[in-house]
Chain A
Amino acid sequence: MDPSVIIFLSSGLFLGWALGANDAANVFGTAVGTRMVRWGTAAAICSIFVVLGAVISGAGSSETLGKLGAITALPGAFMTALAAAISVYVMTKAGLAVSTSQAIVGGIVGWNLFTGQPTDTKILMTIVTTWVLCPILAAIIAVILYKALRIYLRYSKLHLVRTDAYLRLGLLLAGAFGAYALGANNIANVVGVFLPAIEFSTLELGGISFSPAQQLFLIGGLAIAFGVMTYSKGVMMTVGGGLGRISPVAAFVAVVSHSIVLFAFASRGLEAWLLSMGLPTIPLVPVSSSQAVVGAIVGIAILQGAAGIRWRLLGTIVMGWVATPIMAGFISFFGLYFLQNVFDQTVF
């Protein structure tokens, strides 16, 4: 492999690391914060399932990003991912709930504008609509699940100790599913832009063949896992502490709702099943894991009488939809200009 590939991939890997560091908290933050699951256990499960999700189910949302803009030169892909990574870093420092999904789309549109490629507005609209739908859908699923679980707990007469044990196991399983869905849905943000530009050959390992895309997803998945292992502990404690009043039942429902939404926007299997049933399909689009969780928690809060909703938080989400992609788009556009004219790299 050409060593320059690694250098150009570095921005994507950094983005993956940031994603792992931040978004693992959406999957396991409440469980770890409420001391229902140990951080070590959470980090191990999260890392394994993020990689599995990325490699097995990562193709769907990557394809959608490819349709938005097929970046054909590695330096161009590098700058697009770097623009997204910088935006995420800056916005996170500013205390906004940002999403790598929204940053990378801005970056791609920036590349399109710089190279004069037309942006498919239909795809762009689908993506933006999905961002808005994601927290709403998570809220609706959370409300239904929470209500059903409350009724079940009321009539099952389970002992407090047993409810706790089941919830602990449930949080682990939901976390594993959540990590898988996160890997499947968000791997496109990390390495999706590199797909058209990178040339790997198919790898045979123990009778299983890994396509070039899957190899790239594996590298990206490992970057996410590295972020989980090295930096997620503090974020998880903060999420758990910040949402201190959330009960373990609500935590479980929030993670499951988040995971269902992320999985629905990533699963080709679900898409095929909906098609076979003659039902409308769900677009395969990378969405924001943080916003899915916030949507679910707001849903539960509304069900409980809406006393705990912080409208400012909702404001920052809407801000994120607009500000993150615009910022990433600008950085991408000007970064590409420098890369092409100062560093003499082929960006398309």
Chain B
Amino acid sequence: MSRMNKLRLFGRTRDLESQIDDFLDKLSESTVMFRLGVRTYLKEGANGEFDVKLKAVNKLESEADALRRNIEKELYTHTLIPDARGDVLGLIETLDHVMNLFEGVLWSISIEKPDIPSEFRAGYRKLTNMVVQAADALVLAARAFFRTPHAVADYNHKVIIFEKEADKISTQLKRDIFNSDLDLSRKTHLRNFVEQIDNVADWAEDVADRLAIYAIKRTV
């Protein structure tokens, strides 16, 4: 932190506030990049455009990691928000994992290059859309936690709805895959990707559940 910041009234507060906002911006940006990455792969395969999106998610993930470490260090070295810092830490770490999951899916696609038959592509696209919407609602819930904790429940509600829809789509997609004439090896390969993508929505729901408790603690 610069000397000027130390002199400014609430300088450290403003820094920390903007670091938390930046972290949430990275997460929000990564949902867009993830969605575009999967869509590009479904439409055009693992081409240059897909690699650009993969790199973008990688970069966002490592930037968010750096921010997370800084936020944690600030909270603990200066005993800031003593009554809520454990919750903030838990929230930031579990949100960070959402990006890890995005990154994991795109890396798997890049390495394994699954051959997705055209009749299943719409299912994958719909699943990806639903998962991304759950993650977006989670980002809004997290933002609300910091400024308007009583509004967290509304966003959490959306996360849960999107997660349920994602479950329905993934179940149907897996059923269709296994009802097809493909080899068992291809079926299981395709199923892995369905599960990996759906996993993001499941995780988002888990984070939303924790967030609900954190928010209640802040509003009583």
**Contacts A154-B150, A304-B220; A162 near B10 (Cβ below 8 A):** yes
Interfacial chain A residues near B16, Cβ < 8 Å: 161
Q: Are A34 and B82 closer than 8 Å at their CB atoms?
A: yes
Q: Check B80 against A164 for contact (C-beta < 8 Å).
A: yes
Given contacts A154-B150, A304-B220, contact A161 B83 (CB under 8 A): no
A248 within 8 A of B: yes
- Tell me how far the C-beta of B72 lies from the nearest C-beta in chain A, rounded to whole angstroms: 13
Q: Would you list which residues of chain B between 82 and 99 have a CB under 8 Å from chain A?
A: 82-84, 88
**Docked-complex contact A161 and B220, CB < 8 angstroms:** no
Residues facing A in B42-56 (CB within 8 A) are none
Which residues of chain B have C-beta atoms less than 8 A from A36's C-beta?
A: 82
Partner of B218 from A34, A35, A160 at Cβ < 8 Å: A160
0/1 interface trace, chain A 300-326, chain B, CB 8 Å (1 if under) = 000010000000000000000000000
| Contacts A154-B150, A165-B13, A304-B220; A160 near B82 (Cβ below 8 A) | no
Interface size class of A (residues with CB under 8 A): 10 to 19
Which listed segment binds A: B106-114, B141-149, B179-187, B195-203?
B141-149
In the docked arrangement, what's the CA distance between A248 and B85, Å?
A: 13
Query: Any chain B CB within 8 A of the CB of A92?
Result: no
* Bound Cα distance from A198 to B147, whole angstroms: 58
- How many residues on B have C-beta within 8 angstroms of the other chain's C-beta atoms? 21
* Contact assessment for A160 and B83 in the assembled complex, using a CB-CB cutoff below 8 Å: no
Asked whether A247 is an interface residue with its Cβ less than 8 Å from the other chain, the reply is yes
Q: Is residue B66 contacting chain A, with contact meaning CB distance below 8 A?
A: no
Q: Which residues of A contact B84 (CB under 8 A)?
A: 160, 164
Q: Is B27 an interface residue (CB 8 A)?
A: no
A158 and B81 contact, Cβ closer than 8 Å, known pairs A165-B10, A165-B13: no
**Chain B residues close to A by CB (< 8 Å):** 10, 12-14, 16-17, 20, 79-84, 88, 145-148, 150, 218, 220
Q: B-contacting residues of A (Cβ < 8 Å)?
A: 34-36, 154, 157-162, 164-165, 247-248, 304
A sample of 7 cross-chain residue pairs with beta-carbon separation below 8 angstroms, ordered by A number, consists of A160-B84, A160-B146, A161-B13, A162-B13, A164-B80, A165-B80, A247-B220
